[in-house]
Amino acid sequence: MSLGWLRRHDPGLAATRRAGRTAILMPALFALCTQVLHAPTTASFAAFGSFSMLLLVDFSGPMTERLRAQAGLAVAWAVLICLGTLVARQAWLAVLTTVAITFLVLFSGVVSSVLAGAATALLLGFVLPVATPAPLSQLPDRLAGAGLAAAVALPAVALLWPRPVADPLSTPAARVCVAAAAYLRTDAARAAGGDKGPDTAHCRAAAERTADAGAELRRAFDGTPYRPTGLSTSSRTLVRLVDELTWLTGVLADRPAYTEEPPACDLSARRVRLAAADVLDAAAGLLADLRGEVGPLRDRVAQLHTAMTAMAESSTTRLPVDRPVGEGPAEVFGFIATLDFSFRAQELGFAVLQIASNVELAATAWQRSWPDRLLGREPDALTAPLVSARERAAAHLGRGSVWLHNSLRGAVGLGIAVLLADLTSVQHSFWVLLGALSVLRSNALSTGQNALRAVLGTVVGSIVGAGLLQLIGHHGTVLWFLLPIAILVAGIAPAAISFTAGQAAFTITLVILFNIGQNPDWHIVVLRVQDIALGCAVSIVVALFFWPRGAAAAVDRNLAQAYTAGARYLSAAVDYALGHCSATPDPRPAAAEPEEQSREAAASARRLDDAFRSYLAERGAKPLSLADTTTLVTGVVGLRLAADAVVSLWRECGRTRTKADQTEAHLAILRTADRVTDWYRGLAASLDRHTPVPPPVALRPESAARLVESVRTDLVDGEGQATATAVRIIWTGDHVDVARRLQPGLLAAAAPAAGPAQ
């Protein structure tokens, strides 16, 4: 096994790092407890504790956060050992407690990727004592073993080949920022005109580089087994940042289709683009090193705010309200297109400001003092951790949540495994629980495939282990030299070779561990195949009865819910925007923001993301095209952020008095928004019921004509000049049109699953 082969099959040598630590420390702890302390119970819990805390988890982030997570895992192990020891002697109590604990551990993963990644390690801390009933007098020895494991795990994580601090998503996110900044500068230079400016080919190449960087970021994000979030501020900003960068690349690639020629350059809009490019460059620098100075980013954000304010003011002079407009589509859309360049600059500016806010927040959280990190003090920018955790958990309590399905399936599976282990009185019954835990997946097919691989790996490992014991005979000392090698292979094999190879290596490790200090007996190895097979059989039966179709069915359902919630949010955002205009003086403040609809849209997006990740992780043929499904998932992001943009556009505005009640501008935008949101509701129904998708909403010149007429008559000041309200009204309609322009691509992606368009 060469180092080059290992690097290709184990990116970043992550599995090798964990396996190397464990191969050094686990045998050392086991030798200390058996040969020096002569405490076999302590030895077992020290060995499995170090296996759990060193091999099964690899926390990310700054070292302080890692050590805090490791300490939390150690405390949780102590609590679970006490609980498992207390309930193990009563079968019915052990079964009920196993179901409850397993569900809580698995379901807690919706709150934090740290908890999700540590689920197996946490469950091992409960499975080990509950599967080996013992008198309470052995509890101190068990806790001592876990304490020894924690005592070596904490310094090992910090000193023995520590994990790189950089987040795996920071680098691709920084690349998107750099590529987008370069594209904005290229496009701004082209818009300025002149013979020396870049041509269309240069702009197209810059756009392609930005799209490629965005696709790379999305692949890295979707490639993680859990949504990479935690309770810390820096981790909670990560998902927003990925969504916003994905949206930014889509905005850069998008343009309206109602004019063949690009609109004339607006110098103030060009300045916004250049200021946005400066912000993205500063954000990229901070993403590359979150310990860097935040001041330069804040300065550039202030410059972008100034440029956007100036653009909004100058845009009122660009509307030709003093000139007649013909009734033809070309004249009508030409009037609106006078603000197209500034609108796109406003849309880009809003996206860049959101990105900068999240990058600044992540850097500020990263740079907290050691006491603030230790006490968990967060910057005052996001929801408090407990409130955020409660919202995430509540979002997954519906029957359509894949995470809820997987948690219930795992809880019932382990509960039945505990019951069968007690009824059959198998020796080392925790093998049964390990077998059940290791193969449960989100659908029956994946569980069955993993069960076959687990049994095959156990058989192979048992044969190899029995052969080793037969060769060694009474020379049991040799097992001490084989144990580190077996642990090393067991840690590397699942990631670098296969699940079957990992199961075989793990079986060999346990065979060696159970025979150290005793006369090697290969007969006991045969019984381990029986135990593992029993646990795998339990998993298959449970998977057949609990949501056997897995995530494939849930993806369509969650897509439908996400588009329904997104459409509701966009509709509420437009109502909120137009609620700022009134024909009569109104002492009341403007309408409140649609926060409830925003939360619902975000919660449905989280459920969709978890279902999509489970779908990606499932083995076997995919009934849904990954490319089409990815398009539909990112469409949810675009719809939600379009609504965010509308709300942001009107957030700082008070009520504005207009000349007429319910102006034609209002009616035109409301009608267009209703048609657009109705289409998304129709898409949701088509995805849920697998019926034909409705055709996309077409441009309607008559609606645009009403909007133009209203802007020219109702939304002007006393001197007949367009007002800032008129500009915001047109920009609101443009944001709705952005959501409309997403529809053809979504129709093409949804048609294979839902049926052809009518």
What was the pLDDT predicted at 279?
95
Q: What is the pLDDT of residues 274-302, one digit of tens each?
A: 999 999 999 999 888 877 888 899 999 99
Q: Band the pLDDT of 731: cuts 50, 70, 90.
A: confident
Which letter does DSSP use for residue 692 in this model?
A: P
Task: Return the H-helix or E-strand segment holding 144.
Answer: helix 139-159
Would the pLDDT of 720 be above 90?
A: no
Backbone angles phi, psi at 581, to 5 degrees: -110, 135
Tokens of 305: 């705010």
What confidence tens digit (pLDDT) does each residue in 304-314 have?
A: 999 988 887 77
**Cβ neighbours for 621, distance < 8 A, ≥ 6 positions apart:** none
**Which among 510, 515, 493 has a CA at the least distance from the CA of 502?**
493
* DSSP reduced 3-state for 656: strand
Total count of domains within the chain: 4
Average pLDDT in the 171-182 region?
91
Percent of the chain past pLDDT 70, that is, above it, reads: 68
Q: List Cα–Cα distances, 421 to 88, 534, 737, in angstroms.
A: 12, 9, 61
Q: Would the pLDDT of 544 be above 70?
A: no
CA–centroid distance for 145 within its chain: 36
Other Cβ atoms within 10 Å of 251 Cβ, number: 21
Which one of 163, 190, 223 terminates a domain? 163
More confident residue, 685 or 223: 685
CB 531 within 8 A of CB 435: yes
pLDDT at residue 165 tops 90:
no
* C-alpha neighbours within 13 Å on the C-beta side of residue 744: 8
At 581, which helix (H) or strand (E)?
Answer: strand 581-582
Q: Is 375 a domain residue?
A: no
Tell me the pLDDT tens digit for each residue of 615-668: 766 655 556 677 788 888 888 888 998 899 888 888 777 555 555 444 666 777
Distance from the Cα of residue 251 to its chain's centroid? 21
* The predicted structure's pLDDT at residue 117: 76
Q: How confident is the model at residue 151 (pLDDT cuts 50, 70, 90)?
A: very high
What would the mean pLDDT of 36-65 be, rounded to a whole number? 87
6-15, 164-173, 278-287, 521-530: the lowest-pLDDT one? 521-530
Tell me how far the alpha carbon of residue 197 is from its chain's centroid.
40
Same domain as 390, residue 348: no
Token pair listed for 381: 């920018």
In a domain, 7, yes or no: no
3-state secondary structure of 582: strand
Q: At what angle do helices 200-222 and 170-192 cross, to 10 degrees?
A: 160
Question: What pLDDT score does 563 carry?
Answer: 94
Give CA–CA dist 130/97, Å, rounded: 9
Please report whether residue 373 resides in a domain: no
Same domain, 557 and 686: yes
What is the pLDDT, as a whole number, of residue 108? Answer: 83
Closest CA to 234 of 68, 366, 387: 366
**Do 314 and 278 form a contact (C-beta atoms < 8 A)?**
no
Evaluate if residue 178 carries a pLDDT over 90: yes
Alpha helix (H) residue ranges in 263-369: 267-288, 295-315, 329-337, 340-366
In a domain? residue 8: no
Residue 460 backbone class (left: φ over 0; alpha: ψ -120 to 50; beta: rest): alpha
**Tens-digit pLDDT profile for residues 341-387:** 777 788 888 889 989 988 888 788 777 655 555 444 555 444 555 66
3-state secondary structure 388-437: HHHHHHHHCCCCCCHHHHHHHHHHHHHHHHHHHHHHHCCCCCHHHHHHHH
Q: Which residue has the higher pLDDT, 553 or 345?
A: 345
CA dist 119 and 410 (Å) reads 11
What pLDDT does 662 receive? Answer: 45
Average pLDDT of the chain? Answer: 77
| 237/362 Cα distance (integer angstroms) | 6
Q: Which letter, b or e, does each residue of 158-168 get, where b requires 16 or more Cβ atoms within 10 Å of its Cβ?
A: eeeeebebebb
Select the more confidently predicted residue: 317 or 121.
Answer: 121
Claim to verify: residue 517 and residue 457 sit in the same structural domain: yes
Q: What is the per-residue pLDDT for 149?
A: 95
Distance between CA atoms of residues 43 and 49, nearest Å: 10
Mean pLDDT for 248-275 is 69
Measured over all CA atoms, what is the biggest interatomic distance in the chain, rounded to whole angstroms?
104
CA–CA separation, 23 vs 40, rounded Å? 20
Supply 478's token pair: 């040799």
DSSP state of 651: T
Structure tokens at 641: 């952020």
Cα 756 to Cα 750: distance, rounded to the nearest angstrom:
9
Separation of alpha carbons 736 and 699, rounded Å: 12
Tokens standing for 721?
A: 């000049």
What residue type is 654 in one-letter code? G
d(CA 544, CA 448): 9
Residues whose CB falls within 8 Å of the CB of residue 112, separated by 6 or more in sequence, listed in order: 229, 230, 231, 235, 389
For the CA atoms of 201, 203, 206, 211, what is the dihedral angle to 10 degrees? -100
CB 435 within 8 A of CB 452: no
pLDDT value, residue 374: 43
Query: Are 528 and 590 members of one domain?
Result: no
Q: Write the CB contacts of 714 (distance below 8 Å, at least 6 apart in sequence).
A: 658, 659, 660, 663, 664, 665
State residue 660's pLDDT score. 44
pLDDT digits (tens, 9 = 90+) for 454-506: 667 777 777 787 777 777 766 667 888 888 999 999 888 887 888 788 878 88
What is the pLDDT at residue 32?
93
pLDDT tens profile 495-527:
788 878 887 888 888 778 877 766 655 555 566
Q: Which domain holds residue 361?
A: 171-368
Distance CA 169, CA 708 (A): 45
Is 288:170 a contact under the CB 8 Å cutoff?
A: yes
Residue 359: closest CA among 269, 289, 278, 432: 289
DSSP state of 657: E
Q: How many whole angstroms separate alpha carbon 238 and alpha carbon 229?
A: 7
Is 543 a member of any domain?
yes
Beta bridge partners of 716: 722
Distance CA 75, CA 147 (A): 9
Asked if residue 2 belongs to a domain, the reply is no
| pLDDT at residue number 587 | 47
- Is the pLDDT reported for residue 216 higher than 90? no
Do 452 and 400 belong together in one domain?
Answer: yes
Same domain, 579 and 541: no
Lowest mean pLDDT segment, chosen from 73-87, 286-300, 532-546 = 532-546
Sign of CA dihedral 346, 349, 355, 357: negative
Instruction: Let me know whether 538 and 575 are in one domain.
Output: no
> For position 338, which CATH number holds?
1.20.58
More confident site: 703 or 72: 72
pLDDT over 60 (residue 679): yes
Domain end: 312, 337, 368, which one?
368
End-to-end distance of the chain based on CA atoms, in angstroms?
Answer: 57
Helix axes 478-496, 444-472, angle to 10 degrees: 160
Is residue 5 domain-resident?
no
Same domain? 176 vs 31: no
State both tokens at 744: 């053809």
Are residues 735 and 682 part of one domain?
yes
If asked whether residues 540 and 558 sit together in one domain, one would say no
Are 99 and 232 members of one domain? no
Residue 548 reports pLDDT greater than 60: no
Q: How far is CA 314 from the centre of its chain?
A: 40
Domain limit, last residue, from 494, 520, 548: 548
Tell me the residue type at 85: T
Q: Residue 90: what are its φ and ψ, rounded to 5°?
A: -110, 115
C-alpha–C-alpha distance, residues 670 and 640, integer Å: 18
Distances, alpha carbon 209 to alpha carbons 175, 198, 205, in Å = 10, 16, 6
Tell me whether residue 19 is in a domain.
yes
Q: Does 426 share its domain with 508? A: yes
Q: How many other C-beta atoms lie within 10 A of the C-beta of residue 707?
A: 27
